[in-house]
Amino acid sequence: MQNLQSKAEDIGNLAGISLDKQQELLDGQSTALEGLNSLSEFYSKAQEESRKALQHFAEFGHRQQEELLQKQEQMKGLHDRLMDNSKSILAAQESFESKQASMFAALDKLFALHNAILLESRMMKAFFIYSLSIIVIYMLTSTKQTYNVRPWLYIGLCATLLMEVIILRFTNDNIERQTWLISMVRSLFMLAASVQFLYAIFTYR
């Protein structure tokens, strides 16, 4: 009887220990469940924050892409306008160069006409002067003292006229030099004619 009671007590003790172990196990499971719930909540929050961050980055990237496309469109428009302006400027420059070339050609023709008119006027003036010189030489050499120098004076006058024509034809690029040469030639002729005329007068017998 005592043996049975002892076994019953042992069984009761074992049952108590088993219940304690089960209680500890239940407590551990509760703690584990609480930790798992906390971990699940943290994971959910992390997923939500990650989703929001990804959505924010996606929206930011989309906005940046749209702004970049707008900038590219603006740059393309500016480039097209710049090309159009460059073409317009080039066309205007070509037109200006063409007009400038036409103007220079007209100026060249005008200068050529001016030189031709100036040459003709100088030739007419020279013809008048030498015609008058012929008459003057004829009158001055009509006397017996100076009659013998008339041919030489006419020859000198013709030579002077020829030299003046050559100067007018070949030195029309510098009017001042041309005028100086003509004056020099005429002065030399006048000096030579005067010397011959005076020599004829003083040596007449």
Of 113, 118, 110, 130, nearest to 171 by C-alpha is 118
For position 55, what pLDDT does the model report?
A: 84
pLDDT band at 205 (very low <50, low <70, confident <90, very high): low
Domain identity same for 96 and 133? no
User: Residue 104 corresponds to which amino acid?
Assistant: F
Q: What is the dihedral of CA 52, 53, 59, 63, to 10 degrees?
A: 150
| Confidence check: pLDDT of 5 > 80 | no
pLDDT in tens, 29-55: 778 777 777 777 877 787 888 788 788
Which pLDDT score, from 0 to 100, does residue 133 have?
87
Domain boundary among 66, 82, 103: 103
Contact 144, 204 (CB under 8 A): yes
* CA–CA distance, 127 with 114 (Å, rounded to integer): 20
Domain boundary among 82, 103, 124: 103
What is the C-alpha to C-alpha distance for residues 130 and 137, in angstroms, rounded to an integer? Answer: 10
Q: In terms of C-beta density within 10 A (0-12 exposed, 13-18 middle, 19 or more buried), how is residue 140 classed?
A: middle
- Residue 94 domain-assigned? yes
Same structural domain, 118 and 159: yes
Q: Quick check: is 5 in a domain?
A: no
Q: Mark whether 66 and 50 lie in a shared domain.
A: yes
Last residue of a domain, one of 103, 136, 171: 103
Position 1 in a domain: no
- Give the number of domains in the chain: 2
Residues 118 and 194 in one domain: yes
Does residue 165 lie in a domain region?
yes
Domain carrying residue 20: 10-103
Query: Based on the domain organization, do 120 and 78 belong to the same domain?
Result: no
> Tell me: the pLDDT tens digits for 149-167?
888 989 999 999 899 888 8
The answer to whether residue 80 scores a pLDDT higher than 80 is yes
**CB atoms < 10 A from the CB of 116, how many?**
11
> Is 25 contained in some domain?
yes
Model confidence over 7-17: pLDDT tens digits? 666 666 776 77
pLDDT tens figures, 101-121: 889 888 888 877 877 787 778
